[in-house]
Amino acid sequence: MTSVGYERRCAGGERRFFLVLFWIVLVTVTSNCEAGAQQDGVADGKQARPKDEQMSRSWSEEDTLADEAKLENICDIQSSLSAYCICDSLSLNDANEAKCSVFNVSDQNDSIWESFKTQAGLQELQLNVQEDGRLNFLPAVALRNLPDLTSLQVRDATIDTLASQTFVDVTQLHELRLNRNKIRHIRPFAFQGLSRTVELELSHNELSSLERGVFAGLDSLRHLFLDGNNISLVEDSVFQNLRKLEELDLSGNSIAVLTGETLMGLQQLKKLTLRGNQLAIVGDHTFAHVSNLRRLDLSSNQLQVIRQQALAGLRHLNNLDLSRNQLKGLDKSAMLPIWSNLVNSSMTFTVEGEDICINETHRMI
């Protein structure tokens, strides 16, 4: 073989060697780059996911703000067929009080209730249905948007029934006034969650009975008004959870029977009004569970008999009204349980429409 041929062969071999080497290097570099890219992608994915979530959350918040921006300020609605509110401030989320006239709302999902989101800090709310208006439910959507509400009044609606857990979204309520709403039924646990409520008004509705469990959850209640209904049945122990109650008004109903068990649990009761019912007899120990009673109004009933121990235990009583009944006389023995009150203190004692202030001289009619 000539030297020229040998050199050509060597040169060709070198070229093939370098081509193979270049190919190996290229494949290696490419593989490393792909692996690095995958690792970077994983790392980027770990970092990107929170960013994606953050962006998603941000968009969600923006959507919420946008939705709220579409709502009319409940305190500054210029024209509405549903309701019109007068507030102590027109600025968004600045009002503390709102007095609303309700015209005609037949749907829980009416946009007027969502508009209360624009005043989420409201503390006092009145919903007064106008004479030719209509409202046959408590607006759950509005209440859900008012977590700071402490006073609620709904008047002249047509509600019929208070369902269980109606007020679970307004647990800060101190005062609840539901007068003149044609309420006929209260389900057990309707007031569940209202442990801060101190005053409840249910006057001038169409209640005919009070069943056990209807007042459950009202642990702090001090004043309860049930006057002007058509209550004829009061179940035993119906008030047993109202251990802080100080005032109970049952006047203007149709109660014919009252027993000691009816008033069980009312150890702190100071004022009991039973005026204008259908009581004919006050039996022995009727008031045994209300020993702290100061004022007892039994006027305008059909009382003919007061049993000898009917007033037993009322050692703090200082005002007793028995006027406008059918008592033909009052046996002294019926007064013996409160005789010490009559002798040792100034006591207003009303019989047959006459006020008798008893100090040194005690007169019985």
Q: What's the pLDDT at 346?
A: 64
Q: What's the pLDDT at 290?
A: 97
Of 202, 193, 238, 201, which is closest to residue 220 (Cα–Cα)? 193
* Percentage of the chain lying above the pLDDT 70 cut: 76
Are 320 and 338 in contact by the 8 Å Cβ rule? The answer is yes
Q: H or E element: which one contains 59? A: helix 3-70
Calculate ∠ Cα 139-144-146, nearest 5°. 100
Of 158-167, 290-299, 335-344, minimum mean pLDDT range? 335-344
Kindly report the average pLDDT of the chain as a whole number: 82
Parallel/antiparallel/unpaired status of strands 124-135 and 97-105: parallel
Q: What is the pTM of this model?
A: 0.79
Q: What's the pLDDT at 347?
A: 72
Q: What's the pLDDT at 340?
A: 75
In this predicted model, which residue has the larger pLDDT, 9 or 111?
A: 111
pLDDT at 90 over 50: yes
- The structural domains of the chain, ordered by start, are 279-364 (3.80.10.10)
Distance CA 292, CA 272 (A): 11
Q: What's the pLDDT at 348?
A: 76
Distance CA 66, CA 89 (A): 22
Of 9-13, 95-99, 140-144, minimum mean pLDDT range? 9-13
What are the angstrom distances between the C-alpha of 47 and each of 40, 53, 151? 10, 11, 49
Distance CA 158, CA 106 (A): 11
Task: Collect all residues with Cβ–Cβ distance below 8 Å to 252 and sequence separation of at least 6.
Answer: 227, 228, 229, 275, 276, 277
Written as six digits, the tokens of 64 are 């919420």
Of 235, 237, 239, 241, which is closest to residue 272 (Cα–Cα)? 239
Q: What's the pLDDT at 343?
A: 67
Of 305, 360, 365, 362, which is closest to residue 338 (Cα–Cα)? 362
Distance CA 127, CA 148 (A): 17
Task: Collect all residues with Cβ–Cβ distance below 8 Å to 132 and sequence separation of at least 6.
Answer: 103
Q: Where are the beta strands (DSSP E) in 88-222?
A: 97-105, 124-135, 151-155, 161-162, 175-177, 185-186, 199-201, 209-210
In tens, the pLDDT along 66-80 reads 355 578 899 998 767
Q: How confident is the model at residue 352 (pLDDT cuts 50, 70, 90)?
A: low
In tens, the pLDDT along 174-193 reads 999 999 999 999 999 999 99
